[in-house]
Amino acid sequence: MGNYSVVVLDFETTGLSPQYGDRAIEIGAVLVENNEIVDRFQSLMNPGMKVSSFIEEYTGITNRMLDSSPSITEVMHEFTRFMAQHHLVAHNAGFDSRFLDAELQRINQQRCQEFACSLLISRRVYPELTSHSLESLVRSKNLKTDGVHHRALADAEMTAHLWVNIVNDIKAEYGFKQVPFDLLKRLSKVSKSLAPTFLRRAAENQE
DNA sequence: TGCCAGGCCCTCTTTAGGGCCTT
């Protein structure tokens, strides 16, 4: 049983690149302790710009919904209290960390928490799968879902279930008593072909 | 005004290109 907690988060945004002016429009996050979701955070946020029809269709989040939503500043201040000092997890964390860092910078704050990526880790733990998109993983691993996709809280919850599934599968296959966050961080940087050896050796050397 | 992502990972690789993954 992991003795640490993680916050699994997901952003919906106006596009793919905060460097080119894209902004967050929704954040969803769950706090996972001992393989259980024990708290949730969700909010739309008004980006102060119109989102494209593609984004309206992709997420189901409309300009009308965003018009009456709180500001990004307000929501991000609340979210910093929710994430506190917990380790962070996201599916394709490079994307979410870029938006998180960009929005934090706009409110003069900085992230100090470590980020782990469930996409990179699942590619190493489930190399037999041909697709590692969140939707495919939910299907192939029979993860709990309410059928909603591309909304922040629903995606964060599915990612949390994926995270727990990964931890449990590594325990079962390699005989870990617990799977530290740092081990999964390091696993995500090991080459795919060396991942099984890395895990086997780590299991042999655990305290 | 309009330009328009970034990083991983494989391979017919490393003097590179293209698919995947996120919205």
Per-residue model confidence as pLDDT tens digits over A100-152: 999 999 999 999 999 999 999 999 999 999 999 999 999 999 999 999 999 99
Amino acid identity of residue A20, one-letter, is Y
Mean pLDDT, residues A14-26 taken together: 96
A37/A156 Cα distance (integer angstroms): 11
Q: Is the CB of A19 within 7 Å of strand B?
A: yes
Residue A41 has pLDDT above 60, yes or no: yes
Question: Quick check: A16 CB within 7 A of strand B?
Answer: yes
CA angle A64, A66, A71 (to 5 degrees): 150
Asked if the Cβ of residue A103 lies within 7 A of any atom of strand B, the reply is no
Q: Over the range A69-98, which residues count as b (16 or more CB within 10 Å of their CB) and which as e?
A: beebeebbeebeebbeebbbbbbbbebbbb
Kindly indicate the confidence band of residue A206, based on its pLDDT and cuts at 50, 70 and 90.
Answer: confident
Residue A170 one-letter amino acid: I
How many angstroms is C1' of B22 away from CA of A166? 20
Separation of CA A72 from chain center: 19
The whole-angstrom separation of Cα A136 and Cα A119 is: 11
> What average pLDDT does the structure give for chain A?
95
Question: Nearest protein residue to B10's C1' (by CA)?
Answer: A192
Nearest nucleotide (C1') to alpha carbon of A159: B22
Helix, strand, coil tally for chain A in percent (to 5): 50, 20, 35
Nucleic strand B contact set for A 62-91 (CB, < 7 Å): 91
| A69 CA, B20 C1': Å apart | 33
pTM for this predicted structure: 0.95
- Determine the Cα–Cα distance for residues A69 and A202; give it in Å rounded to an integer: 47
* Residue A3: pLDDT over 80: no
A53 touches strand B (CB under 7 A): no
pLDDT of residue A134: 97
> Which structural domain, as residue segments, surrounds residue A154?
5-204
Helix (H) or strand (E) segment spanning residue A186: helix A181-187
Would you say A35 and A178 are in contact if contact means Cβ atoms under 8 Å apart?
no
How many domains would you assign to chain A? 1
> And the tokens for A135?
């939707």
Share of chain A above pLDDT 70, in %: 98
Parallel/antiparallel/unpaired status of strands A5-13 and A87-90: parallel
Q: pLDDT digit string (tens) for A73-90?
A: 999 999 999 999 999 999
pLDDT computed for residue A1 by the predictor: 44
- Which CATH number goes with the domain that contains A39? 3.30.420.10
From the CA of A150, how many Å to the C1' of B22?
11
Between CA A110 and C1' B19 the distance (Å) reads 33
